[in-house]
Amino acid sequence: SQQGEEDPQALSIQEGENATMNCSYKTSINNLQWYRQNSGRGLVHLILIRSNEREKHSGRLRVTLDTSKKSSSLLITASRAADTASYFCATRSNYKLTFGKGTLLTVNP
């Protein structure tokens, strides 16, 4: 079963624009993580935000977490063609990490 649900399912933008992806989940969590997957490859961890944190930055990434709404957002600023990939949120509850269905981001040069 998949707890997280990303929105939108697909997003197409121009290079240099910002990309925002949202994730909603259903049960209480310890932390929430975002992963990237290039076509035909494994997943790569991007950023982790704990349940007691509200915002976190890493380079061009900004993640927010609203536990009252059970939602998170991932913002990628100044996007590049190399950012083209699928992005997954994953919620950690106890020791279980559950992934959403992902957002396919296409950044056009």
Partner 1 sequence: EAGVVQSPRYKIIEKKQPVAFWCNPISGHNTLYWYLQNLGQGPELLIRYENEEAVDDSQLPKDRFSAERLKGVDSTLKIQPAELGDSAVYLCASSFTPPLAGGQNANTGELFFGEGSRLTVL
Q: Which residues contact partner 1 by CB under 8 A? A: 1-2, 4, 30-31, 33, 35, 40-45, 48, 50-52, 88, 90, 92, 94-102
Residue among 42 and 109 whose Cβ is closer to partner 1: 42
CB of 38 to partner 1, least distance (A): 10
CB of 97 to partner 1, least distance (A): 6
Q: How far apart (Å, rounded) are the C-alpha atoms in residues 48 and 44? A: 12
Q: How far apart (Å, rounded) are the C-alpha atoms in residues 103 and 35? A: 11
Length of the chain measured in residues: 109
Compute how many other C-beta atoms are within 10 angstroms of the C-beta atom of residue 96: 10
